[in-house]
Amino acid sequence: MSRICTVTGKRRVTGSIIHRRGLTKKSGGIGTHVAKVSKRTFKPNVQKVRVRLASGQVKRVWVSAKALKAGKVTKA
């Protein structure tokens, strides 16, 4: 099961790490240059909590910390 928030739909997103080398022009160098670009993933802060659904059923689901803090779910 993937870690996706059932309330907000937050999921992992991909991005890049940009490695730069050199001394900035402001510091007296010739400027920074991109040496390498690596792929990475940004993971949401999702936690497994027991939630009471609208039907009254209690179920364990992945919920983001932002949704918990905002009070969008009722804990069981």
pTM of the model: 0.74
Query: Residue ranges of the chain with pLDDT lower than 50?
Result: none
Cα separation, 41 vs 37, whole angstroms: 13
Query: What three-state secondary structure class fits 31?
Result: coil
- Domains of the chain by residue range: 13-70
Rounded-to-integer distance, Cα 45 and Cα 24, Å: 35
Residues 6+ apart with CB under 8 A from 36: 18, 19
- Strands (E) in 1-76, as ranges, are 13-21, 33-42, 46-52, 58-64
Quick one: pLDDT at residue 1? 64
